[in-house]
Homo-oligomer: A and B are copies of this chain.
Amino acid sequence: MEQLKQQVFAANMALPAHGLVTYTWGNVSGIDRARQWVVIKPSGVPYAELQPADMVVVNMAGEVVEGALRPSSDTPTHLVLYQQYPQLGGIVHTHSTHATAWAQAGKPIPALGTTHADYFAGDIPCTRGLSAGEVAQAYEHHTGLVIVETLADHEPLHTPGIVVYQHGPFCWGKTPEEAVHNAVVMEEVAKMAWISCGINRDIRPIDEHLMEKHFSRKHGPGAYYGQG
């Protein structure tokens, strides 16, 4: 548990280091699947003051089991995703500039090139808006549900992130570190896609065979990128 706290702390600190957060906007969690405990950033604590010991531990019902601080207000969203997808080990939420801009525009981030395809096996979806009722009651829980609804039959590790309509990105991975890595990638491809669409209003999506090739270069049994 101390090791996971350290990992989640380090992953949280990577957010300002990569320019993904302003002030306290953003949070990373990790899960211990054996114990079914989730470690997450405390709510509203500035990164400059954050310590590993500040990480909050909650159970799958969202009850604090360790830690003196209140967990991130987005904790219920994380819990829905961990519950639904046993393959996830880490989740991150940010308001990174360009990914949030697509969320505000209400559009999926289109797969336009190999930078995108190296990590995401298709467009990065944008959820529908939440209804007034979904927002009024258990808002953060409904945010998790609408992500699950939007992913539908996508394999979440092949679509390791989404933008929530008029809100911002959630990303995930097998570890907290990988979740942050995917958040950095999403912000970069969100920026590139914005610029590409400005250059060519009649832009075409990436060729299907090129997308599959690049995704499989890095993922799955035939992967040959990296040191293996």
Scoring A104, A167, A204, A206 by chain B CB atoms within 10 A of each residue's CB, the highest score goes to: A104
Decide if A52 is an interface residue (CB 8 Å cutoff): no
Q: Are A97 and B225 in contact (CB under 8 A)?
A: no
A85 proximity list for chain B (CB < 8 A): none
Interface residue tally for chain A (C-beta within 8 Å): 63
- Give the shortest distance, in Å, between A162 (CB) and chain B (any CB): 15
Q: Are B227 and A45 in contact (CB under 8 A)?
A: yes
Q: Are A203 and B104 in contact (CB under 8 A)?
A: yes
| A43-B226, A199-B197 as given contacts; A168 in contact with B95, CB under 8 Å | no
Decide if A73 is an interface residue (CB 8 Å cutoff): yes
Interface residues of A (CB under 8 A from B): 22-25, 42-45, 69-70, 73, 95, 97-98, 100-107, 112-115, 129-132, 135-136, 139, 166-168, 181, 184-185, 188, 191-200, 203-204, 206-207, 209-210, 213, 217, 224-228
